[in-house]
Amino acid sequence: MEKDITFASVAELSRMLAAREVSAVELAQHYLARIEAHKDLNAFLDVRPEATLEQARQADERIAAGTATPLTGIPIAHKDIFVTREWASTAASRMLEGYMSPFDATVVRQLKDEGMVCLGKLNCDEFAMGSGNENSAYGKVFNPWDANAVPGGSSGGSSSAVAAGLAPIVTGTDTGGSIREPASFTGVTGMKPTYGRPSRLGMIAFASSLDTAGLLGHSAEDCAWVLGSMVGFDPKDSTSVNMPTEDFKRHLNDGVAGLRIGVPRKWLGEGLDPELRTSIEEAIETYRRLGAEIVDIELPMAELGVPVYYVVACAEASSNLSRFDGVRYGHRAADYTDIVDMIKKSRNEGFGAEPKRRIMIGTYVLSHGYYDAYYLKAQKVRRLIAKEFHETFKKVDVIISPVTAGTAYDFGANADPVSAYLSDLYTVPASLAGLPGISVPCGIHSNGRPLGFQLLGETFSEARLLGVAAAWQRETDWHLRRPAGY
C-alpha cells in the first residue's frame, strides 16, 4: 500500500481518508519520511514535523466529527514565495533568512481552512527569479529524473517534490512560466490560472501585474480537485477578480469532440528539439482522432514576448524589492556608518546576483529619459500581445504549443543571463496577457528526461483547459511515469 499512497491521486487519497483506510496523521508521517529520505534533492527549505502532525491531528478530528471537506487531510506543500505563520518565509533569499510571517497568505489560509495539511516550504529561485532553480540562496534543487539536470524554475522545489513523490500536490507561482516550465522538465502537471483569480495577498512580490499562484500535481484531475479552493475574490488584494469560485472538475470527462484547437505552427519550427516536436505532433493527432478540429494560427506579436516581459517584470521587481532596505524587516548589515551606508550594505549582502541584475535593469528602464523609450513602449506592446490572443480565441477554443524548446538542461548550461531569459520564449506571452495555461507530460526524450506541452485558453477558461488536458491523460500514461528510484 505504501507505493499506492506515495503516488496516489488527490481523489484516491480523499476516498481513502473518508473510508478510514488511512488517517491524515499516517499520510503526513508517510510523506514526512519520504522528504527526510530524499533530502539530497534539496526540494524543501523548512520542514517542521510537529506543526505538520498537529494539522493532521486536527484533520482527523474533523473527519471523525463529520465536518470534513473532500480535501481535509490531504497533504500539500507551499512554494517559499507564500508567507506562512508556522514555517519560515524566505523567498529563497538571504534577505529574508529565518523570517516568520505574522499571517498566512490568502492561498495558504484558504487551503488550510479546507483541512489540507502543510508538509513544509519548498525551495525556489530567489524571489522567483529564474528558470532553473539555480538561483536559490540555499542551494540548487535537483531533478529526480537526472541529477545533472535542472528541475526548472522558479518553482523547482515544487516540481521536484511532486515528481519524487514527496507530496501529492503543491503550490507554485507563475510570473513568466515558473509553473509550466518546471512541470514540463520533471514530468508532472502544472496549472497556471488566469491572473487575478487566486489572491496575491501574502505572495512575496516579484512582478505585481504578472505573479499568479497555481498548482503542480500528477494530473489535471489533481489540479482540478484543489484549484477551486485556492481561487476566489479577496477584498484585501486590489488585483483580485471579483468573481465566485467554481467546480473545476466539471469538464474532466467531457472529451474534446467539437473543440477547436489552435496550433501556432511557427512555434513548432526552427529551434525546437526534434523529439519534442514529434511528441507534440502526436498529441495534436490524438486530439484530432478524439474529435477536435485542428486550426493553424499565427501569433506574430507573441514573438516579442521575451523583451517585453523582461522590461515590465524587471521594472516591477525594482519597485517591489525596494522595500528590502534593512530598516523594517529582513537582513540588516552588521557594520555601517550611516543609514545610506546601511541600506547599501544590507541590500548588497542580502540579494543574490539575479535579483540584483533584475533590480538594475528595472531601475534603468524606469529612470528619467528611458521610461518612455522602454517601459511605456513595452506596456503598449504588451497590450497588443493580449489583443492578439483575445482575437485568436474568437477562432479557437484552446491553443497547444511547446513549453520550452527542449528538455531540462544541465546545470550551468544557461549561465549566460540572456540564454536563460530566452528559455521563457513560449511561456511569457500568455503571462503578459494574463491567460490560464496548463503544462502536461507528453513523452520521455532519448536522453531520459521528460517532455511536455502546454495548453492555453481565454481568461477564466481553467475548467475547459483541465478537461482538454484530462482527455489527453486518459489516452496516455506519460503522467504516470516515475523517475527511477522513487
Per the CB < 8 A criterion, the answer to whether 434 and 386 are in contact is yes
Per-residue pLDDT of 69-92, as tens digits, reads 999 999 999 999 999 999 999 999
Chunked into runs of 10 residues, the chain (486 residues) has average pLDDT values of: 80 97 97 98 98 98 98 98 98 97 98 98 97 96 98 97 98 98 98 98 98 98 98 97 95 98 96 97 98 98 96 97 93 96 97 97 94 94 98 98 97 84 92 98 98 98 98 98 96
Q: What is the pLDDT of residue 144?
A: 98
- Give catalytic residue positions: 79, 154, 178
Q: Which residues contact 414 (CB under 8 A, 6 or more apart)?
A: 131, 132, 420, 423
pLDDT at position 1, please?
Answer: 44
Let me know if residue 121 belongs to a domain: yes
| Spatial CB neighbours of 474, under 8 Å, sequence gap ≥ 6 | none
Tell me: cis bond preceding 208? Omega within 30 of 0 counts.
no
The whole-number pLDDT of residue 201 equals 98
Q: Is residue 105 part of a domain?
A: yes
Structural domain including 72 reads 10-228
> Does residue 233 belong to any structural domain of this protein?
no
Q: State residue 145's pLDDT score.
A: 98
Which amino acid belongs to residue 185? F
Domain assignment of residue 352, yes or no:
no
d(CA 401, CA 177): 13
pLDDT value of residue 34: 97
Has residue 482 been placed in a domain? no
Q: What does the pLDDT read at residue 230? A: 97
Determine contact, residues 373/315, Cβ cutoff 8 Å: no
The number of folded domains in the chain is: 1
Residue 389: Cβ within 10 Å count:
23
**Where do we find the cell 522595500?**
323
Q: Report pLDDT for 108.
A: 98
Residues 6+ apart with CB under 8 A from 304: 381, 385
- Rounded Cα distance between 426 and 410, Å, is 20
First CA to last CA across the chain, in angstroms?
15
Among candidate residues 138, 223, 222, 130, the one with its CA nearest the CA of residue 185: 130
439 inside domain: no
174 domain residue, yes or no: yes
CATH number at residue 190: 3.90.1300.10
Rounded-to-integer distance, Cα 222 and Cα 167, Å: 12
Q: Is residue 327 part of a domain?
A: no
Distance, in Å, from the CA atom of 258 to the CA atom of 299, rounded to the nearest integer, reads 23
CA distance 113 to 108: 9
Amino acid at position 61, single letter: E
pLDDT at residue 414, rounded to an integer: 84
Phi/psi-derived region of residue 89, left when phi > 0, alpha when psi is between -120 and 50, beta in every other case:
beta
